[in-house]
Amino acid sequence: MPIYEFHCEECNKDFEHLVLIASAVDGLTCKHCNSPNIKKMISTTSNQPAKGAAIPAGALSGCSSSSGFS
Ligand SMILES: [Zn+2]
């Protein structure tokens, strides 16, 4: 599930919000001061690994060697 991180320009606080569709962020307000003056930030959720980390380096090298690269 995409959880976006927002930064409020009014109270300078960060908060997270679960966003199911991109347009849902329209009209979203700060959880702390209720201000609409917020910025969406790129958030990497901790409960899902990064795409680069999903493939171990050993798997890549083993694949290339088994394909007759040498
Ligand atoms: Zn705020």
The 10s digit of each residue's pLDDT in 10-65 is 999 999 988 787 677 778 999 999 999 999 887 555 555 555 555 566 666 655 55
Q: How far is the CA of 44 from the centre of ligand 1 (A)?
A: 21
Which residues sit with Cβ closer than 5 angstroms to ligand 1, an ion? Answer: 8, 10-11, 30, 32-33, 35
Neighbours of 39 (CB within 10 A): 10
3, 45 contact by CB (below 8 A): yes
Has residue 66 got a pLDDT over 90? no
Residue 43 CA to ligand 1 center (angstroms) comes to: 18
